[in-house]
Chain A
Amino acid sequence: MMLLVGNPNAGKSTLFNRLARAHAHVGNWHGVTVDALAKQATLKGKTIKFVDLPGIYTAAGKSLEEKYACRYIEERPAAALAFVSECGRVEQFVPLMAELTKGGRRCALILTKRRRFEREGGRIDVAALSSRLGIPVLCAEEKGLEDALAHALDGHPTSVPNIAISDLVRPICEGLSRVDRVLLNGFFGVPIFFLLLLAAFFLTFAKGLPGDLMKGGIEWLFNDYLGGMSAGIPSPIVRSLVQDGILKSLGSVLCFLPQIALLHLFLILLEESGLLSRLAILTDGFFSKIGLSGRAVFSLLMGFGCTAAAVTTTRGLDDKATQRRVILCLPYISCSAKLPVYLVLSASFFQNPFVAVILLYALGAGISVVVALFFKKKSPPFIAELAPLQLPRPLFVWKSLLFQVKQFIIKVATVILAFFIASWFLSSFSFSFALCDVEGSMLATICSWFRWLFSPLGMGDWRIAYAALSGLVAKENVAGAIAMLYGSFPYSSASAFAFAVFILACSPCVSAIAATAREVGKKRALLYAVGQTLSALLLSYAVYYCLIGGALYVAIAAAPIVAICIIGKNCEKVSRTRRKFAQRLHRRHLRTGVDVPSRTPKKQRCACKRHQDGRKRAPSRGR
């Protein structure tokens, strides 16, 4: 039996996985392992039971995990101990080893993260360390660890002396490297990262670059090549099922894959190289003000490319609440599929479609900031480790990329595929289950029920409802549906703009909803989609009436909001001056949205507040 003992986040579970060929969950933070994990494995012909214990700092630790681990070690005096320590922490680790090996134990010391330690200028004399401590010292990153460990644990029980080893370990160079000094400088850092993110964005989404080329290739394969082959199927129903149902949907799902894979590749590269932690630190100040975290920058920017792909990249965010807020904001950031819709619609309300499109993009970004502010909660104070700058390991990048792509296919693509086939069925059959055109299909009838939703916008037509509904499959379908059913957009410019606003703010396509469901759960994803669609309808009504009514309608719409603001503020002022101190303080915090304890003593604070209130009220009292 061999117990793996060490500080939290020293790499015990990684080592355990390697030695016992297990799949314990590992992570770059402490407290991943909370229970003893045991697995039998053969080491150099011998069967050994490996036990991965939670991390401990001292033998007299207070936390539950530490107590548990210490008791586990004490109850098994015959078990060998494999001490696991980071190279940089080995000096502080010696007292713990001495404490645990009192009375003699078979043990060995395994040093982890040596490469990183030496890259940052640290040095450690392994041979001298071994002779001074009297136990074998091994390095986890070297080949042949298993053999060395099996050999080492055959030795006699020893007790480690509690002696100083500071002369054998040279700590890493302190201070910031030259690269870090530039990257963490506000003037240089932000533009550099912005350029990096922009490069990632264009490589993934821009025309003629890898992401777009691969997407086009997959579309060609499914729609033209395989679609052409299936044209020879004699039965019209089977041909329609294969061509429009299966091949088209498979094509539209799989054409996401290259872009999602590329996005995740860039995310993994940024994260592994340590650049993302610097970006997060740099931008956290601004983003925490609107209730998001610095790490969300990547996901938000990628939202301009594809909402579904961006949603899948939010997985690594610090906490669930922040992730939910980011996912809520993402649909308002116009994805690339919305661009053709904007272009078709804006042709009817602007001379220059470019201005209209910029306006709509800005409106979307504005709405997402408002949404973030609306759902903002007090975020936990910011703390992050600056990951060391390094070249990403190809094998690790490849493995994590495969994992993400597999996750997408299993969890997301299957849902989308089912939805696509259902929508094909509804749009190609009439209620008597005969193959027909779109006009006579079940979907057209269903859409005619929804047409009243758009009649306040001056467009009471089933075709506009059909266009909006087809946006649920993919946003670019809206443009296609309008072109197919109308030719050019026949309604007024106000209707067109209002409809563009609706498309901008309504629920994202089903791929994004499926991705959201994967991240935050099905119920929440549906709730978000319905809420977004309803609010989008209200917003488009407001925009429409403001446009056709001009200043009068704007004034009527704005009056209640302004009135609520003014009345609310007055009520707050009066109640703040009248109630008890605690309530006043509470109100003030509610209003400002931040709960920062003030440094001034309570008495002084009261006096100050009284003084301010008195001064504000003074004129109205006629003093």
Chain B
Amino acid sequence: MDMNICDLKRGERAIVLKVEHTGELGDRLIALGVYVGAKIMVLKRSLRGHAYLIQAGNSKIAMEREIASGVRIWRT
């Protein structure tokens, strides 16, 4: 079962298994609440056709598909 955020439908929840991004981008994701074990939920897919809006803890985060595909998740 290899899934990332892009595989989720709107309103589906998941737990983050791995954040594949490293460096500054990885740190930023963690700071925004996307870390291993965090619960996330997809609020809006393809926001203006290129981005995802997800809820992670307290924050709502818009991210490009490129970033979303690098966050491995487990659907709950």
Identify the A interface with B (CB < 8 A).
8-9, 29-31, 55, 57, 63, 86, 88-89, 92, 117, 120, 122, 171-172, 174-176, 184, 186, 281-282, 284-285, 380-386
Of A55, A117, A282, the most chain B CB neighbours within 10 A belong to A282
Max chain A Cβ within 10 angstroms of own Cβ: one of B11, B47, B62, B67 = B62
The 0/1 profile, CB within 8 Å of A marked 1, for residues 13-30 of chain B is 000000000000101111
Q: Is the CB of A89 within 8 A of B62?
A: no
A176-B47 Cα distance, complex, nearest whole Å:
13
Q: What's the Cα separation between A63 and B50 when bound, in Å?
A: 32
- In the bound complex, do residue B58 and residue A384 qualify as a contact, i.e. CB atoms below 8 Å apart? no
Tell me which residues across on chain B come within 8 A of A171, comparing CB atoms: 57
The one of B44, B47, B60, B64 in contact with A381, judged by C-beta atoms closer than 8 angstroms, is B64
Q: Is there contact, CB below 8 Å, between B63 and A88?
A: no
Q: A88-B58, A172-B58, A174-B41 are in contact. Are A381 and B32 (CB under 8 A)?
A: no
In the complex, which residues of chain B have a beta carbon less than 8 angstroms from the beta carbon of A282?
Answer: 47-48
Q: Is the interface of A mostly helix, strand, loop or mixed?
A: loop
| A184 and B31 contact, CB distance less than 8 A | no
Complex CA–CA separation, A580 to B33 (angstroms): 43
Do A382 and B27 form a contact, CB below 8 Å, given A86-B58, A174-B41?
no
Are B31 and A383 in contact, CB atoms less than 8 angstroms apart? Answer: no
Q: How far is the CA of A10 from the CA of B25 in the complex (A)?
A: 19
B30 to chain A, nearest CB (A): 7
B interface residue numbers (CB < 8 A to A): 11, 25, 27-33, 35, 41, 43-44, 47-51, 53, 55, 57-64, 66-67
Assess whether A57 is in contact with B55, with CB atoms less than 8 Å apart. Answer: no
Taking CB atoms, residues of chain B closer than 8 Å to A31 are: 27, 31
- A175-B43, A281-B47, A382-B63 known; A30+B27 contact, CB < 8 A: yes
CB neighbours of B55 from chain A (8 A): 174-175
Q: Is the Cβ of A385 less than 8 Å from the Cβ of B59?
A: yes
For the complex, give the distance between the alpha carbons of A555 and B28 in Å: 52
**A55→B32 CA distance, assembly (Å):** 13
**CA–CA, A491 and B32, complex, Å:** 62
The docked-state distance in angstroms from the alpha carbon of A545 to that of B30 is: 58
For residue B74, give the distance in angstroms from its CB to the closest CB of chain A.
Answer: 18
Give A342 Cβ to nearest chain B Cβ, in Å: 35
For the complex, what is the distance from the CA of A385 to the CA of B25, rounded to whole Å?
Answer: 13
Answer whether A186 and B60 are a contact pair too, CB < 8 Å, given A175-B55, A381-B25, A383-B29.
no
In-complex Cβ contact of A383 among B41, B57, B62 (8 A): B62
A122 to B57, CA, bound (A): 11
The number of residue pairs between A and B whose CB atoms lie closer than 8 Å in the complex comes to 88
CB-defined contacts of A122 to chain B, threshold 8 Å: 58
Complex CA gap A383/B29 in Å reads 9
Q: Are B51 and A284 in contact (CB under 8 A)?
A: yes
Shortest Cβ distance from A65 into B: residue: B27
A-B contact pairs, 24 of them (CB 8 A): A31-B27, A57-B30, A88-B57, A89-B33, A89-B58, A92-B57, A122-B58, A171-B57, A172-B58, A175-B55, A186-B48, A282-B48, A284-B50, A284-B51, A285-B51, A380-B25, A381-B25, A381-B63, A381-B64, A382-B50, A383-B28, A383-B32, A386-B60, A386-B62
Residue of B35, B41, B50, B59 near A57 (CB, 8 A) is: B35
Which residue of chain A is the closest to B57 with respect to CB atoms? A88
**Residue on B nearest A282 in the bound complex, by CB:** B48
B57 contacts A281, C-beta separation under 8 Å: no
- What are the residues of chain A within 8 A of B61 when measuring CB–CB? 383-386
Q: In chain A, what residue has the closest Cβ to B35?
A: A57
The 9 residue pairs across chains A and B that have the minimum distance between CB atoms? A88-B58, A30-B31, A386-B60, A382-B64, A383-B63, A381-B66, A281-B62, A381-B64, A285-B48
* Given A175-B55, A184-B44, A184-B53: A382 in contact with B62 (beta carbons within 8 A): yes
Contact A383 B44 (CB under 8 A): no
Q: How far is the CA of A122 from the CA of B60 in the complex (A)?
A: 15
B57 to chain A, nearest CB (A): 6
- CB-CB nearest in chain A for B61: A385
Report the minimum CB–CB distance from A190 to chain B (whole Å): 9
Beyond A176-B43, A383-B25, A383-B67, whether A285 also contacts B58 by CB under 8 A is no
Question: In the complex where A63-B27, A117-B58, A175-B55 touch, is A285 in contact with B50 (Cβ < 8 A)?
Answer: yes
CB distance from A61 to the nearest CB of B (A): 11
Q: How far is the CA of A67 from the CA of B50 in the complex (A)?
A: 37
A283 nearest CB neighbor, chain B only: B48
With most chain A CB atoms within 10 A of its CB, the pick from B27, B29, B31, B63 is B31
By beta carbon, the residue of chain A nearest B55 is A174
Residue among B48, B50, B67 having the largest count of chain A Cβ atoms under 10 Å: B48
Pair B58/A382 contact, Cβ less than 8 Å: no
- Residue of chain B at shortest CB distance from A286: B48
Residues of chain A contacted by B41 (CB below 8 angstroms) = 174-175
In contact, B31 and A8 (Cβ under 8 angstroms): yes
**Chain B residues within an 8 Å CB radius of A92:** 57
B64-A383 in contact (CB<8A)? yes
Q: Which residues of B contact A383 (CB under 8 A)?
A: 25, 28-29, 32, 61-64, 67
Q: Could you list 7 further interchain pairs (A-B, Cβ under 8 angstroms) beyond the known A29-B31, A57-B35, A175-B11?
A: A30-B28, A57-B30, A92-B57, A175-B55, A281-B53, A382-B63, A383-B25
Q: Which residue of A lies closest to B13 (CB)?
A: A174
A residues near B64, Cβ cutoff 8 Å: 381-383
Find out whether the CB atom of A384 lies under 8 angstroms from the CB atom of B31. no
Report the bound CA distance from A127 to B49 in whole Å.
Answer: 46
